């Protein structure tokens, strides 16, 4: 049984999508071991509590990054997390944090990386005038929005869109993409060559 950890800072819709997939068996052989928010008022952490999940608030405000990271890593290890999913976690992980879970941290980003990393990616894409945007689930490495890509989904930008309608259509795809990516990683039927993740390799070359 895999133990998932979720880190979030806000609304928590990607967390809910993952939790629904676990409950429905779309992510087999997995449970959510802990949900952690760095913000006490994050709606996502209230939902985790309502669902009876192990929900923790570990406040980041006014704390040195390293100290906060150490508290979060301690909670994840205490709960035996073997795959960590960042779901709207609006903090950069320190290199030390990333090294604690090698190739076991995933992030979702609302653009087709490497386009539009950083904050407000949907607004950036809309303002740039791209005709196609989307979302990316990737491994977390020590650089922002950078690790090997696991799943991407494209979303057309319509002439009738504004940044809100575009963001809403991207979000629908995010919810599908995260479940797909978690399944790929937990099944381990992939290899990463350079930056390229290739699925359906033979068992001799499984995982990273
Ligand atoms: C999502 O759109 C996610 O892709 C984005 O924050 C939102 C969180 O929504 N993450 C980033 O921009 C990370 N760079 P949610 O709390 O409803 O899942």
Q: pLDDT value at position 202?
A: 60
pLDDT digits (tens, 9 = 90+) for 134-187: 999 999 999 999 999 999 999 999 999 999 999 999 999 999 999 999 999 999
Residue 208 has what pLDDT? 59
| Range 98-111 average pLDDT | 97
| Binding positions | 12-14, 65, 90-93, 107
Is residue 74 in a domain?
yes
CA of 63 to the centre of ligand 1 (A): 23
pLDDT for position 203: 54
Q: What is the pLDDT of residue 20?
A: 98
For position 201, what pLDDT does the model report? 59
The answer to the question of residue 192 being in a domain is: yes
Q: Is 51 inside a domain boundary?
A: yes
Domain-embedded: residue 18: yes
Q: Report whether residue 138 contacts ligand 1, using a CB cutoff of 6 Å.
A: no
What is the per-residue pLDDT across 37-77, written as a single tens digit (0 to 9) for each? 999 999 999 999 999 999 999 999 999 999 999 999 999 99
Number of domain units in the chain: 1
**Residues classed as catalytic:** 109
* CA 87 to ligand 1 center in whole angstroms: 6
**Average pLDDT value for residue range 106-119:** 97
pLDDT of the residue at 164: 97
In this predicted structure, what is the pLDDT of residue 35? 98
203 or 71, greater pLDDT: 71
Q: Is residue 159 part of a domain?
A: yes
Instruction: From 13, 11, 2, 10, select the one nearest 177 (Cα to Cα).
Output: 13
Q: 129 by DSSP, 3-state: which?
A: coil
Residue 125: inside a domain, yes or no?
Answer: yes
The verdict on residue 15 lying in a domain is yes
Give 90's pLDDT tier (boundaries 50, 70, 90): very high
Q: Does residue 33 carry a pLDDT above 70?
A: yes
d(CA 139, CA 108): 9
- Measured in Å, residue 11 CA sits from the centre of ligand 1 at 8
CATH of the domain at 161: 3.40.50.170
Residues 6+ apart with CB under 8 A from 68: 38, 58, 59, 60, 91
Tell me whether residue 204 is in a domain.
Answer: no
Domain membership of residue 47 as a residue range: 2-199
With cut-offs at 50, 70 and 90, classify the pLDDT of residue 200.
confident
């Amino acid at each position: 049984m895999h133990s998932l950890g979720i880190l979030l800072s806000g609304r928590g819709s990607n967390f809910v999508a993952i939790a629904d997939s676990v409950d429905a068996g779309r992510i087999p052989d997995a449970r959510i071991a802990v949900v952690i928010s760095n913000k006490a008022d994050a709606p996502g952490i209230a939902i985790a509590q309502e669902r009876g999940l192990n929900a923790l608030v570990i406040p980041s405000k006014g704390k040195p990054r390293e100290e906060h990271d150490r508290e979060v890593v301690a909670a994840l290890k205490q709960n035996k997390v073997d795959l960590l999913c960042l779901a709207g976690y609006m903090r950069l992980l320190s290199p030390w944090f990333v090294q604690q879970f090698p190739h076991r941290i995933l992030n979702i980003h609302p653009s087709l990386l490497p386009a539009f990393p950083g904050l407000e990616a949907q607004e950036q894409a809309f303002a740039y005038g791209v005709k196609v945007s989307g979302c990316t689930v990737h491994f977390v490495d020590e650089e922002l929005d950078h690790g090997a890509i696991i799943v991407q989904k494209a979303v057309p930008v319509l002439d009738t869109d504004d940044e809100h309608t575009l963001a809403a259509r991207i979000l629908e795809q995010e919810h599908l993409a995260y479940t797909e990516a978690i399944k790929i990683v937990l099944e381990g039927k992939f290899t990463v060559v350079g930056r390229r993740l290739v699925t359906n390799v033979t068992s001799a070359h499984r995982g990273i």
